[in-house]
């Protein structure tokens, strides 16, 4: 039966009528209309579901596991924290390992959780000087031929690629990506300000986890951070766990990039939503202690973050206002990737969430299906 989800939108209690996964109407309806729906009164604030464009894993599973079972775990785990759509994110690995991931996705298998919107390739065309937790031995020079091959293998499901624009031949990969409809993000990069600006002019639209694993802002050499700040139309991902980025810098980023171009990501790994301990990230051992996930040498290796927590952090450090939350969690991502999400409106996909007054997720609805209830 079709759902009528009741909750608060812009201060008023309204009903969202859902049919076959799409929003048919939003308003206050009479009993005669509502009798055709199953009423779900969430008693909370309704928002468009969160979209996480940079997530490696969660609930003990990693994208690099390359199985539908792992993807199912990741999607189910993050749906419990408000994510209704995500890009499974690979890390810098061998051609075979990347191919295995891209081949393992089967759209016929039903996922009870966040919707898989495609893949984000993080690497392998990055700068070895800024590997972060990406295994250095698999970093390689940009090659458009490889990206084309991976795109075909994925049946067109690669939506985003993170690369370092200053590497040789990066420009031909950027050009190929744009032709294929893949959005390019600058990251794991040591680009100078000018190299970064050149990349943006070539069509790069996003900055991968702003501040982390990139050339910093220096007043004489503004680096990739400065170039992103100076390019208003370029989006920026940010990891708001207050470990990757200081709360004061979260405020600065929101002010400078603006809430129309900032996007919360988790960069979560398998350790997210799991007890502290030792986990794997694309073949490397990582330890999860006190909310931080690190390699043995102390390098941050993704996060244990979920998007509900990222939202709570942004609000508690006054980086944004509550009214901005749908922009930085859903609409900006949707606009950048050319997807129809990011609003609760007639004709939109019915992927929405309900939150209580503490910004905790109580209900997650993906394409009209209630996949989580607290």
Give the residue with the Cβ less far from Zn ion, 62 or 122. 122
Of 103-111, 223-231, 255-263, 264-272, the window that binds Zn ion (rule: CB under 5 A) is 264-272
Cα 353 to Cα 262: distance, rounded to the nearest angstrom: 20
Cis previous bond, 124, omega within 30: yes
Reference 274, options 238, 240, 303, 311; nearest CA is 303
Q: In whole angstroms, how close is the CB of 277 to Zn ion at the nearest point? A: 20
Of 33-41, 103-111, 118-126, 165-173, the window that binds Zn ion (rule: CB under 5 A) is 118-126
Of 22-30, 80-88, 99-107, 115-123, the window that binds Zn ion (rule: CB under 5 A) is 115-123
Q: In whole angstroms, how close is the CB of 269 to Zn ion at the nearest point? A: 8
Of 45-53, 68-76, 98-106, 120-128, the window that binds Zn ion (rule: CB under 5 A) is 120-128
CA distances from 342 to 161, 163, 262, 292, 326 (A): 21, 26, 14, 29, 7
Supply the DSSP symbol for 342.
S
Q: In whole angstroms, how close is the CB of 184 to Zn ion at the nearest point? A: 15
User: Residue 345: beta bridge partners?
Assistant: none
Give the residue with the Cβ less far from Zn ion, 62 or 324. 62
Q: In whole angstroms, how close is the CB of 119 to Zn ion at the nearest point? A: 13
Give the residue with the Cβ less far from Zn ion, 177 or 355. 177
Torsion of CA 267, 273, 276, 279, to 10 degrees: -60
Give the residue with the Cβ less far from Zn ion, 239 or 262. 239
> What are the residue ranges of helices labelled H in the chain?
31-34, 68-79, 95-104, 144-153, 170-180, 193-201, 223-229, 247-257, 307-316, 325-326, 332-337
CA distances from 280 to 63, 252, 302 (A): 11, 33, 11
**Residue among 267, 268, 272, 305 that touches Zn ion (CB under 5 A):** 267
Of 165-173, 244-252, 267-275, 327-335, the window that binds Zn ion (rule: CB under 5 A) is 267-275
Give the residue with the Cβ less far from Zn ion, 241 or 267. 267
Reference 341, options 358, 357, 353, 354; nearest CA is 353
Q: Nearest 5 degrees, angle CA 55-CA 61-CA 65?
A: 95
Please give the positions annotated as active site. Answer: 267
Cα 336 to Cα 343: distance, rounded to the nearest angstrom: 14
Give the residue with the Cβ less far from Zn ion, 48 or 302. 302
Q: In whole angstroms, how close is the CB of 10 to Zn ion at the nearest point? A: 34
Give the residue with the Cβ less far from Zn ion, 6 or 185. 185
Cα 36 to Cα 45: distance, rounded to the nearest angstrom: 23
Nearest residue to Zn ion, by Cβ distance, number only = 267
Q: In whole angstroms, how close is the CB of 357 to Zn ion at the nearest point? A: 32
Q: In whole angstroms, how close is the CB of 180 to Zn ion at the nearest point? A: 21
How many of the chain's residues bind Zn ion (CB under 5 A)?
Answer: 2
Cα 216 to Cα 213: distance, rounded to the nearest angstrom: 9
Helix (H) or strand (E) holding 7: strand 3-9
Reference 121, options 147, 148, 90, 143; nearest CA is 90
Give residues in contact with Zn ion (CB under 5 A).
Answer: 122, 267
């Amino acid at each position: 039966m079709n759902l009528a989800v009741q909750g608060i939108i812009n201060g008023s209690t309204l009903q969202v009528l859902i049919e076959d996964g799409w929003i048919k109407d939003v308003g206050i309806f009479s009993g005669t209309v509502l009798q055709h729906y199953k009423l779900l009164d969430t008693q909370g604030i309704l928002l468009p579901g969160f979209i996480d464009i940079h997530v490696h894993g969660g609930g003990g599973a990693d994208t690099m596991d390359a199985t539908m079972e792992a993807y199912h775990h990741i999607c189910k785990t993050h749906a419990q924290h408000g994510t209704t759509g995500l890009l499974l994110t690979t890390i810098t690995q061998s051609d075979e390992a990347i191919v295995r991931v891209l081949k393992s996705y089967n759209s016929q298998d039903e996922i009870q959780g966040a919707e898989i919107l495609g893949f984000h390739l993080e690497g392998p065309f990055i700068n070895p000087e800024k590997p972060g937790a990406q295994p250095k031995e698999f970093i390689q020079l940009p090659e458009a031929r490889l990206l084309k091959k991976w795109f075909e293998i994925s049946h067109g499901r690669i939506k985003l690629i993170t690369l370092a624009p200053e590497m040789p031949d990066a420009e031909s990969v950027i050009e190929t990506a744009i032709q294929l409809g893949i959005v390019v993000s600058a990251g794991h990069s040591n680009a100078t300000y000018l190299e970064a600006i050149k990349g943006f002019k070539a069509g790069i639209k996003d900055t991968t986890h702003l501040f982390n694993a990139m050339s910093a802002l220096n007043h004489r050499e503004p680096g990739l951070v400065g170039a992103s700040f100076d390019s208003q139309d370029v989006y920026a991902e940010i990891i708001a766990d207050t470990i990757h980025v200081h709360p004061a810098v979260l405020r600065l980023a929101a002010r400078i990039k603006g809430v129309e171009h900032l996007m919360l990501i988790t960069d979560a790994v398998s350790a997210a939503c799991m007890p502290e301990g030792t986990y794997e990230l694309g073949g490397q051992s990582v330890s999860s202690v006190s909310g931080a996930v690190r390699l043995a040498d102390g390098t941050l290796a993704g996060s244990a973050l979920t998007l509900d927590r990222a939202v709570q952090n942004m609000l508690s450090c006054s980086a944004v206002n509550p009214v901005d939350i749908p922009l930085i969690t859903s609409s900006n991502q949707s606009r950048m990737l050319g997807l129809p999400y990011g609003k609760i409106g007639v004709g939109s996909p019915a992927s929405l969430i309900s939150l209580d007054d503490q910004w905790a997720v109580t209900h997650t609805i993906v394409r009209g299906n209630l996949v989580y209830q607290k």
